[in-house]
Amino acid sequence: MTRINLLPLLTILLSSLLVISSCKKEDVRSERISDNSNPLGKKPDDPGFAENSMVMYWNDKTRIVLTGPFTPPAQSRHFAMVQIAVHDALNAIKPKYERFAMVNHRSQFANPDAAVASAAYWTLKGLNVQGLHPIDNWFNESLASIPDGESKEAGKELGKQSADAIIANRSTDNLAQANLQLPQPDGINPGEYQSTLPFSLPGMPKIKALHQWGTLMTPFVTQSNSQFRPSAPYPVSSNEYVGDYNEVKFKGGKDNHTRTADEDEIGRFWVERSTIGWNRFARNMIGNQKLDAWKTARLFALLHTAITDGASGCFEAKYHYNYWRPETAIRLGDADGNAQTAGDPNWLPGYIEGPNLANPAANMYTPPIAEYPSAHANFGGAASEILKLFFGTDQIFVNQTSTTTPGVTRHYSSLAQAARDNSLSRIYVGYHFRLAIIIGEEQGKQIGNYVFNNSFRPVE
């Protein structure tokens, strides 16, 4: 019987399969890929793994820069852009997750740390948000820790290209117009938004802040800002409204309130800007995990993109319904047509959103934005949903701090509880009715789920 030597045939078949597999992995999205980062054909410094220390470093530096006089939606947009640039740069070295803006470039021999530092630095510079912060020094210090050579230079160039790509991608998202604070006429009927202090004072402009954000801002991932618009708030004439009215009146008031010590702490603890607080929450969760640079960058890109799209969806709903704040509702409670709502013309929220130390009479107690749904609850819903889906569990062990309650640490064993405390805080500071915080949190979760399942997905 003749014996056939299959070894040459198997060798040919195996080689063919390897070539096909390699092509699929190199070009998951059928991109036209350019790679001029290693003309001498040297081995990469790192074939696809890097510790996450540089990603964490520039995430924190971005937090420092963006803890400034930005509107909450603009702050979240800027943070998302920086994190997307970092994510895209890393995935141009080794494509592990879908890229967002820089999709047609590869630089597989670039140093990952140099790419991360350069992407973050040039995005902040391109946004021109650095102010007086020493970001040039931070950048130079970052690069000084990386050995000189072609790989480092390729990383610097790659990061710059990634920053340019996200800035170009968002250059037509209508930020300038969406971020304006323009005077608008007040509503006149019970339930319609009316200006809160100090804009309700005689002679003051009637401000409805960011009333164009939801209609003009281009979302990052969601199909439209109205995609997850919730149903309408309770009519002022309803029994459900009365229950929510009385709850915030007594739990959220400045004087004669019924808040417990823990409720008061929750209110002040979570009043911190959501983009900053939930970024810290994510960092605390990362601290308990072993994540490389790619996974860490993906998490931050998902987190801040979801918060930003959450803001846009929420503001679209806010001005679609144009509902009044508790500050207005309770002060006008005797004139709202509902006999069950006892008014208090002197009622004020328990927390001052914008204190005026030189003239307390001009304090801004309530954010001058339509009430329903709650953006703060929306941000927490979006962030907690991303964290739950990313880590695959609601069960956590996080000791969270807050800049608004120095020295206080709150322990959380579930993301659901953290998100709910974040939402309830808006009742305890007197800013929102209960329906607004429940619906806002749910809307945020829906948007977080959509962002997670439609962007930055694994490609291998």
| Cβ neighbours, 10 Å, residue 355 | 12
pLDDT tens sequence across 392-423: 999 999 999 999 999 999 999 999 999 999 99
Annotate 286-315 with b (16+ C-beta within 10 A) or e (fewer): beeeebbbbbbbbbbbbbbbbbbbbbbbbb
Q: Which residue has the tokens 């948000």?
A: 129
Task: State what percent of residues in the chain have pLDDT above 90.
Answer: 85
Cα 430 to Cα 200, 236, 269, 349: the distances in Å are 17, 18, 14, 4
Which sign, positive or negative, has the C-alpha torsion 345, 346, 351, 357? positive
- pLDDT, tens digit (0-9, with 9 covering 90-100), for 100-124: 999 989 999 999 999 999 999 999 9
E strands in 324-415: 395-401, 409-414
pLDDT at position 157: 98
| pLDDT band with cut points at 50, 70 and 90 for residue 43 | low
Instruction: Write the pLDDT tens digit of every residue in 203-217.
Output: 999 989 999 999 999
Q: Is the pLDDT of residue 58 over 60?
A: yes
pLDDT of residue 273: 95
Residue 4's pLDDT band, with cuts at 50, 70 and 90, is: very low
Task: Show the beta-strand stretches assigned E in 182-232.
Answer: none
Q: Which amino acid is at 222?
A: T
Residues of the chain with CATH 1.20.144.10: 53-169
Residue 229's contacts (CB-CB under 8 Å, 6 or more residues apart) are 313, 316, 317, 320
Mean pLDDT (the chain, rounded) = 90
Distance CA 352, CA 289 (A): 37
> Which of the residue ranges 33-42, 150-159, 299-308 would you say has the lowest mean pLDDT?
33-42
Stretch(es) of the chain classified as CATH 1.10.606.20: 176-454
Of the candidates 400, 392, 432, the residue with the CA atom closest to the CA atom of residue 419: 400
pLDDT digits (tens, 9 = 90+) for 258-277: 999 999 999 999 999 999 99
**0.75 cut: is pTM over it?**
yes
How much is the pLDDT for 92? 97
Q: What is the pLDDT of residue 181?
A: 83
**pLDDT at site 11:** 38
Which two tokens mark 321?
């319904």
Mean pLDDT across 430-456:
98
Give the separation between CA 203 and CA 117, rounded to whole angstroms.
Answer: 49
**Roughly what angle, to the nearest 10 degrees, separates helices 53-66 and 72-93?**
160
Q: What are the φ/ψ torsions at residue 354 (nearest 5 degrees)?
A: -135, 85
The whole-number pLDDT of residue 290 equals 85
Q: Is the pLDDT of residue 129 over 90?
A: yes
Band the pLDDT of 16: cuts 50, 70, 90.
very low
Give residue-wise pLDDT tens across range 300-330.
Answer: 999 999 999 999 999 999 999 999 999 999 9
pLDDT(246) > 70:
yes
Asked whether 427 and 434 are in contact (CB, 8 A), the reply is: yes
Q: With pLDDT > 70 as the criterion, what percentage of the chain qualifies?
A: 89
- Classified by CATH at the fold level, domain 176-454 comes out as Vanadium-containing Chloroperoxidase; domain 2 (1.10.606)
pLDDT of residue 32: 33
Residue 90 has pLDDT above 90, yes or no: yes
pLDDT of residue 45: 54
Q: Is the peptide bond before 198 cis (omega within 30 degrees of 0)?
A: yes
The pLDDT of residue 297: 98
Sorting pLDDT into bands at 50, 70 and 90, what band is 253? very high
* Tens of pLDDT, residues 363-390: 999 999 999 999 999 999 999 999 999 9
Are the C-beta atoms of residues 55 and 69 closer than 8 Å to each other? no
392: left (phi over 0), alpha (psi -120 to 50) or beta: left
Sorting pLDDT into bands at 50, 70 and 90, what band is 37?
A: very low
The CATH code belonging to domain 53-169 is 1.20.144.10
Structure token digits, residue 453: 């399942």
Which alpha helices (DSSP H) does 94-212 contain, by range?
A: 112-127, 135-144, 150-169, 175-178
